[in-house]
Amino acid sequence: MGKVRVPLAWLACAALAGNALADEGRLGDAAPPVRGGLSEPAPAPATGAGLDLATALHRAEARSPDMAASQLEAEATRHELAQAGVRPNPELGVDVEDANRRQRTTTVLLSQRMELGGKRDARVQAARKASELATVQTQQQRVETRAAVTRAFFDTLIAQERVQLAQEALNLAQLGAAVADKRVQAGKVSPVELTRARVAQAQTRMALTQAQGELQTSLHALHAALGGDTRVERVEGKLLQVPTLPALPAVLDTAERAPARRKSALDVERWSAVAAVERSLRTPDVTLSVGIKRERESARNQVMLGVSMPLPLFDRNQDNELAALRRRDKAEEEARALALRQRADLLSAHQRWASATEVVALMRQDVLPGAESAYAAATRGFSLGKFSYLEALDAQRALLEAKTQYLTALADAYRAASDVERLIGEPLFGTAAPSTTTPK
């Protein structure tokens, strides 16, 4: 996992501890070992290798109940399309007249309803649009699933970095408290500095607890995005380079072809097809009948031919057609609203991405190097007796806050990139997380 290299500050802290020990004797086992800031990977838990982004995306598509439900709906509409083209079944009827057996007349009729007014074609077209809509909905669900997994993945990755940073801060606070205790015992500093050191230690312990809680929250969100897979306890990825910001015109152009936009357009077409179905129902069907009538008394068989059709005197299905047309108009308005909302959300996400990118660059170029330099100078001065522990503690706190702000800016950038990916409907992260670079 890529880290921000800040070895100078941590080496300065090690020098602080070494000089203090040289002045006051052995510190013993009270001080924990200090690792190199964000320049080294966090130790792997005993649970084995972590989950990478490509595997997480693949696993989510295979296990997500939302994906499964969307695919089942698409399959159901394909069956409805096949059923829409089926012609009506013929009807077989038997009529018996007269209770007197010798005078009884039996009529057997075979009837077939003939669909007129293009009902079958209209029904097939409506079912085809519904099937296309379900297919696009599956694509949209895949986009939503990818976005949810990507966001939860990077939230978890950044939460892991924050836990590591909080642990390192606690290690430093424990080391500083131990050094301050020795100096107080030696009478070189006021007991107030020991109190301040212990307060700082307690604050860093609380920060670690909070960071661990945020990590668990992120893991819960990741488990849900993965379809309830609770086996994941950590993730692995290259984090510390903000994804390349695409040009705004290209993003807006891609958004025009997003599944959400295609879905809204298909919804308009589907309701137009439904209106055509309702319009075709205004044309009455004709039922043709053929059969045999047998009179038992005369022992004669008579051929029966018949034609029947409903008379559209009361029900002409006009209101069902108007209802479908109004729903088509509603779908058009919803499509326009979606386009406006998507554009506004896309502009907002793109701006947040650009702002986070600028903040990250500023942190790398100015803030982090300055905080590292100030902390290194403060720790060297403290080890030589030129600065108080309070001054060294303030420099340490400023450096840790700068790192925290840096991780926050990275989190904002990845969240904005995930939102852009969801809105344009195309992957920005590919099959793996972006490569990483480390600031000098």
- Count of other CB atoms within 10 angstroms of residue 283: 16
Q: What is the pLDDT of residues 222-263, one digit of tens each?
A: 999 998 888 888 898 877 667 788 899 999 999 999 999 999
pLDDT of residue 240: 66
Is it the case that residue 1 has pLDDT exceeding 70? no
Q: Chain-centre distance of CA 101, in angstroms?
A: 76
**What's residue 45's pLDDT?**
40
How far does Cα 323 stand from its chain's mean position? Answer: 35
Backbone angles phi, psi at 231, to 5 degrees: -75, -20
- Strand ordering across the sheet containing 91-97: 91-97, 105-114, 286-295, 300-308
Q: How far apart are CA 237 and CA 217, in angstroms?
A: 19
φ, ψ for residue 19 (rounded to 5)? -65, -40
The per-residue DSSP string of 177-241 comes to HHHHHHHHHTTSS-HHHHHHHHHHHHHHHHHHHHHHHHHHHHHHHHHHHTTS-TT---B----SS
pTM of the model: 0.76
Q: What is the pLDDT of residue 49?
A: 58
Which tens digits make up the pLDDT trace of 325-372? Answer: 999 999 999 999 999 999 999 999 999 999 999 999 899 888 989 988
The encoded tokens of residue 165 equal 């940073």
Mean pLDDT of the chain: 83
pLDDT at 421 over 50: yes
Provide the residue count of the chain: 440
| CA–CA distance, 141 with 132 (Å, rounded to integer) | 14
Instruction: Return the pLDDT at 27.
Output: 30
Residue 383: Cβ-neighbour burial (10 angstroms; 0-12, 13-18, 19+): buried
Q: Is the dihedral of CA 374, 378, 381, 387 positive or negative?
A: positive
Whole-angstrom distance, CA of residue 78 vs CA of residue 73: 9
Assess contact for 152 and 237: CB atoms under 8 A: no
The residue-averaged pLDDT of 288-311 equals 88
Domains of the chain are 53-308+331-424 (1.20.1600.10)
**What percentage of the chain exceeds 90 in pLDDT?**
52
Give the pLDDT band of residue 389 (cuts 50, 70, 90): low
**H or E element that contains 347:** helix 318-362
pLDDT band at 155 (very low <50, low <70, confident <90, very high): very high
Q: Comparing 5-19, 93-107, 234-248, which segment has the lowest mean pLDDT?
A: 5-19
Three-state secondary structure of 73-137: HHHHHHHHHHHHCCCCCCEEEEEEECCCCCCCEEEEEEEEEECCCCHHHHHHHHHHHHHHHHHHH
Q: For residue 87, which phi and psi values (nearest 5 degrees)?
A: -80, 160
Residue 242 CA to residue 410 CA, distance in Å, equals 7
Alpha carbon distance 101, 15 (integer Å): 120
